[in-house]
Amino acid sequence: MATWYEIRKGADFLGLSKKYQIDPVIARLLINRDIKEASFASFLRCDKKNLHSPREMKDMEKAVSIIKEAVDEHKKIRVIGDYDIDGINSTYILYSGITRVGGDVSYAIPRRIEDGYGINPDMVLAAYEDGVEVIITCDNGIAAFPAVEKANELGMTIVVTDHHQIPFDEVDGKKVERLVPAAAVVDPHQEADTYPFPEICGGMVAWKFVTLLYEVCGISNEEAEAFIENAAFATVGDIMPLKDENRIVVKLGLKAMENTKNIGLHALIAQNHLEGGTISAYHLGFVLGPCFNASGRLETADLAMELLLEKDEHEAVRKAGELVSINEERKAMTRNGDEMALLMMEENHMEKDSVLVLYIPSLHESLCGLVAGHIKEKYYRPTFVLSDGADCVKGSGRSIEAYSMFEKMNECKELLLKFGGHPMAAGLSLAKENVDEFRRMLNEKANLSEKDLEPVLEFDMQLPPSYLLAHPGLIEELEVLEPFGNGNPKPTFAAGNLPIKSMVRIGKEKQYVKFSFATEGGTLDGLYFGDSDALDEKLKEKFSTEEVENAYSGKASDLTLSISYYPQINEFRGRRSIQVIINDYLL
């Protein structure tokens, strides 16, 4: 069970409510998210005028100049991207943008199994043999020293655009940045970069590049804005914080996507039964995005790229259907991987480790990150899942707030063949004989306290259901805070000791619970999509089996439940009512 904490940040909420014509609850939510009053208006409006100029990014003008010169001199250019959501959209943006300005451009996306992550010397050599003179990377390259050095040896020009952490060495206890020797390096995380908001994804960097490229080539900014949906897709897919310009791009990009002119993207939206409705950040992260990722995991990301480039509607429908099918196969394989990981945890009593390192040789290496994420959620531990690759052990990690995976891997880099990533997620490869030592060293250097390893549920405020019933407009007003995601979480409210009038099992397998709570001003429905069997057992322990059975029979009971929740409007047969989605509960 998580420890619950109420976020308590003081302000004159009633005064802010009157000044900005918003509910006091909205004012408190903005303050809880560290939105300063001076930024209230811009946050609520979400205006594209508040996007930052590409020129503010180090080496951006230099990179654009190199590509513009290559276009003018009719040199062959190759875009080299990556096989995930961010990498695919980045590649599409750069390839399409350079094509639009008249470039002789091709693209290459590494194959996860054969090539591994990002550009490598073999891909550079292949480009050279194809007559390519200029390479531009996207969503990768910042740590690709062998590949960049190979390009330089061959007399090629290479431009790196990336957003990952910059490699560094420890010298006299200080971090010393190591930059690849490319003709231009565009990555907002560089020490010398003064870009106002560096927490952007590779797709955003690519979009900024194309925006400036269009400007210097005399192409309207409106054409560059057509890629905002791809930048939004990449931002959500790479779990970037939905703050500052990220939030603006995602909000505007989602709206653009609902009426997308991209035939392939429209087909994928239709195949997932989202056509004609509101597309949310959730749909990008958990419905459309996994279809893109699945192609790079099990087949080749070329299929997703081809879908974005497709001009024939019938072919787009076929390719979108293929992506959906591949994703269904990926789901089944992931469930099997989860089962193997959980069994390993139980048999080896690994939950005592501060950092979990699970080596599952038979697991498809592309699924390591997904399984790591699921295990991390269950045990609330930084988790690495490893499997056998073609010539070494490969894996991925998912972390918790108190643990920076990139920095901790850097402390063990002598054991690793290759690694990279963010504080919260990482990829790596190592020799099989180093797996046990990697696990030992990570735990030795973990520096995690018991408190760090306790899951925490932070809720915004205690909000009795009676307030919702008295202020039904609040639920629609909450939409002004969207899109929700990393860095801009969906508001979480709490209500204590709600009397349960009745309970009923719902879902195809009766795996969920629908509650009817007695509240001041009426009855409120609540839906719980968690482990309903465990909830039943806990209710029986605190109250009695008879009381729980009474609630399920619709009889009077003494059951009460404290809940954390998010409210929504339920529409059924033309009738609108307020209900809450229960995130967690306390007894």
Distance of alpha carbon 378 from alpha carbon 376, whole angstroms: 6
Give whole-number Cα distances, 381 to 238, 403, 429, 443, 455, in Å: 21, 9, 20, 11, 9
Residue 67 in this model has a pLDDT that exceeds 80 = yes
Q: With beta carbons less than 8 A apart as the criterion, state whether 205 and 186 touch.
A: yes
What's the CATH architecture for 337-444?
Roll (3.10)
Across the chain, mean pLDDT equals 95
The CATH fold of domain 54-226: inorganic pyrophosphatase (n-terminal core) (3.90.1640)
pLDDT digits (tens, 9 = 90+) for 543-563: 999 999 999 999 989 999 999
Amino acid letter at 265?
Answer: L
**Three-state DSSP state, 311:** coil
For residue 576, what pLDDT band results from cuts at 50, 70 and 90? confident
The predicted structure's pLDDT at residue 175: 87
- Residue-level pLDDT at 255: 96
- For 105, the 3-state DSSP assignment is strand
Burial class (CB in 10 A: 0-12, 13-18, 19+), 152: middle
Classify strands 134-137 and 356-359 as parallel, antiparallel or unpaired.
unpaired
DSSP 22-58: --HHHHHHHHHTT--GGGHHHHHH--GGGSPPGGGST
Q: Give the model confidence (pLDDT) of 233-245 as tens digits.
A: 999 999 899 999 9
* Pairing status of strand 512-519 against strand 522-528: antiparallel
Enumerate the CATH 2.40.50.140 domain ranges in the chain, comma separated.
456-586
- What stretches of 281-382 adopt beta strand conformation (E)? 356-359
Residues with Cβ within 8 Å of residue 173, at least 6 apart in sequence: none
DSSP string, 531-550: -HHHHHHHHHHHS-HHHHHH
Cis peptide before 455 (omega within 30 of 0): no
**Among the listed residues 219, 188, 59, the one whose alpha carbon sits nearest the alpha carbon of residue 136:** 59
CA angle 438, 441, 445 (to 5 degrees): 140
- Tell me where in the chain the CATH 3.10.310.30 domain(s) lie: 337-444
Residue 60 has pLDDT above 80, yes or no: yes
**What is the rounded CA–CA span in Å between residue 36 and residue 39?**
5
Contact (CB, 8 A) for 408 and 423: no
pLDDT of residue 521: 80
Residue 485 carries which DSSP code? B
CA–CA separation, 414 and 476 (whole Å): 53
Instruction: Please give the helix or strand (H or E) that residue 397 lies within, else none.
Output: strand 393-398
pLDDT (0 to 100) of residue 170: 83
Measured distance CA(490)–CA(282) in Å, rounded: 11
DSSP helix, strand, coil percent of the chain (3-state; round to 5):
45, 20, 30
pLDDT in tens, 473-519: 999 999 999 999 998 999 999 999 999 999 999 999 999 999 999 98
CB burial string 60-96: b at 16+ within 10 A, e below: bbebbbbbbebbeeebbbbbbbbbbbbbbbbbbbbbb
pLDDT in tens, 115-153: 878 999 999 999 999 999 999 999 999 999 999 999 999
Chain Cα centroid distance, residue 380: 18
- What is the CATH number that goes with domain 456-586? 2.40.50.140
Cβ atoms of residues 303 and 322 within 8 Å: yes
- Which residue reads 């009719």 in tokens? 74
Task: State residue 2's pLDDT score.
Answer: 85
In 429-515, which ranges are continuous DSSP H helix?
A: 435-444, 465-470, 473-477
Q: Could you read off the pLDDT of 410-462 as tens digits, one per residue?
A: 999 999 998 987 788 899 999 999 999 999 999 999 999 999 999 989 999 99
Which pLDDT score, from 0 to 100, does residue 575 have? 85
Whether the CA torsion 4, 10, 14, 18 is positive or negative: it is: negative
Q: Are 57 and 188 in contact (CB under 8 A)?
A: yes
* C-beta neighbour count of 19 within 10 angstroms: 12
pLDDT above 80: residue 1: no
Q: Higher-confidence residue: 575 or 147?
A: 147
49-59: average pLDDT? 97
Residue 458's φ and ψ, nearest 5 degrees, are -95, 125
Q: Report the pLDDT value the prediction gives residue 307, as an integer from 0 to 100.
A: 98
pLDDT of 72-112, one tens digit each? 999 999 999 999 999 999 999 999 999 999 999 999 999 98
**In this structure, which amino acid lies at residue 298?**
L
Give whole-number Cα distances, 493 to 89, 157, 489, in Å: 35, 54, 12
> Is 90 exceeded by the pLDDT of residue 163?
yes
Q: Other CB atoms closer than 10 Å to residue 570's CB: what's the count? A: 12
pLDDT band at 573 (very low <50, low <70, confident <90, very high): confident
Q: Which two tokens stand for residue 384?
A: 């690495």
Work out whether strand 157-161 and strand 134-137 pair parallel, antiparallel, or are unpaired.
parallel
* Whether 88 contacts 288, CB under 8 Å: no
Q: What is the bridge-based pairing of β-strands 134-137 and 76-80? A: parallel
576 vs 525: CA distance, rounded Å: 12
What is the rounded distance in angstroms from the CA atom of residue 146 to the CA atom of residue 322? 35
Distance CA 387, CA 378 (A): 20
Q: Compute the residue count for the chain.
A: 587
pLDDT at 580: 96
Positions of CATH 3.90.1640.30 in the chain? 54-226
In this prediction, residue 422 carries a pLDDT of: 79
Percent of the chain having pLDDT more than 90? 86
Asked if residue 186 has pLDDT above 80, the reply is yes
Asked whether 515 and 460 are in contact (CB, 8 A), the reply is no
- CA distances 574 to 267, 373, 513, 527, 571, Å, are 30, 39, 23, 20, 6
pLDDT digits (tens, 9 = 90+) for 167-177: 888 888 888 99
Arithmetic mean of pLDDT, 268-274: 97
Q: Percent of the chain scored above 70 by pLDDT?
A: 100
Average pLDDT, integer, range 357-377: 95
